[in-house]
Amino acid sequence: MRKVASLVTKIIFLLICYWFITRVVIPSMKNIFVSKQITIDQTPILIKEIKSIGQLITYTSFDEVVADTTIKTKGSAFVNGFNRFTPVPILPSADKQLVIIGRGKILVGTDLTRLSDSGVTIKNDTVRVQLPKAQILDAILNPSDFETFVEKGEWSNDEVIRVKAQARRKMIEHALNQHILTKADAKAKIVMENFLHNIGYKHVEVF
Amino acid sequence: MQQTILILLLFLVSCAKKDNTDEKPGVLTLREMSDLATVEYTVTKVIKASDNKTWFKVGDRKILMSCEAHIKAGIDMGAINENSFKIAGKNIEVSLPPPKVISISLPAEGIKTEYETVSVFRDKFKSQDRDALAAQAEQQILNSIDSLGILNQAKVNTSMFVTSFLKRLGYDNIRITYDGSTRQNPMQ
């Protein structure tokens, strides 16, 4: 009986040790040399502009693109010149390099505010609507959509903006290659036809 | 005693960190929608951060950035069907779906570093650090959407837009109502 009690005590002691080591000692030791995440302060949001729009968004294209740029620095000429005289490059490159991955989305649709007065004609129970052509309404690449893959050297705000603009252009290009404007035009036509049928028009022509 | 030590060692070995990074990649594709965006808010925010909380780093870094965000709101036209309309001659009553946030965009051109100070022993803020700070601002803006009143403004603008369109189609008396309670879906 005494042996069983002793064994149970040992097991309980070991479980307490296990809990203490895994939950308290190891995590705190592990985090001793981890940099604390920088958190931003709560600041007010100011409304700069409120704009009335009328955009019928008919397609969203989600995409992932890579953008990269290398910029020569003052030291690049020296390093490249030196390496030219050696059989194998000895000095590491002094160029600045930035490679980013962007995962964003393109919103495509029809700007209905461009629907002209002559674009809507009604005759008895027939309605004709001439929709404006579909266009890229937004190319959204938010800060949380970017991942920095390589960052060598110091990059100014303007230089980073240029690399991000490259990512944005690539995303738009990909979307256009998928004939997204044609698809968006067709979808806008369907949405408008449904709307007009629902409000009682028997003959609807949308083009 | 030896047994006890052996069991203790087994427990310690089992403490090794498990790798749970089995994140699934997102599906990147084309998606059909039928959202009518009727209002766009342009908002600005100052991003203020101090990097002085890591004990083993000598000196601190401070940064002030400004950012601009564009938020669009409107309704889902796909939720409108024939039951959404009650028509009596030139009178029409339209029941629209509740307004929602359609998109939020923080373009790179709208994010600027206004001020930065870095101690001698510290590295300058990298592009990655600035993105991480701007991503926090993006989240704060998302969390504050309710207080901006954008959904109420979307109701007003959508009503005006639909009324104007129905007038062009020949209706004289137009009444607009909204289904259910308003809700937002900023990540759509």
- Rounded percentage of chain A residues whose pLDDT exceeds 70: 94
Nearest CB among A26, A57, A117 relative to B37 is that of A57
> Is the CB of A178 inside 8 Å of chain B's CB atoms?
yes
Residues sharing a CB contact under 8 Å with residue B186, sequence separation 6 or more, in sequence order: B101, B104, B142, B145
List Cα–Cα distances, A43 to B19, B44, B106, B119, B125, in angstroms. 37, 10, 17, 24, 20
Show residues of chain A in contact with B105, CB under 8 Å.
138, 140, 142
The pairing of beta strand B85-88 with beta strand B173-178? unpaired
Chain A closest-CA separation from residue B38 CA (Å): 5
Question: Domain residue spans in chain A?
Answer: 1-31, 49-71+97-206
What mean pLDDT, rounded, does chain B reach? 81
Rounded to two decimals, the pTM is 0.80
Residue ranges of the domains in chain B? Answer: 32-178
- For A49, the closest chain B residue by CA position comes to B42
How far, in Å, CA of A64 to CA of A76, rounded? 31
Of A18, A148, A196, the CB nearest to B128: A148
What is the tens place of the pLDDT at every residue in B89-100?
888 999 999 999
Q: What is the pLDDT of residues B64-111, one digit of tens each?
A: 999 999 999 999 988 888 888 888 888 899 999 999 999 999 999 999
DSSP state of A29: H
For tokens 């944005």, the residue is: A168
Q: How far apart are CA A141 and CA A100, in angstroms?
A: 12
Window A:46-75, CB contacts with B under 8 Å: 46-64
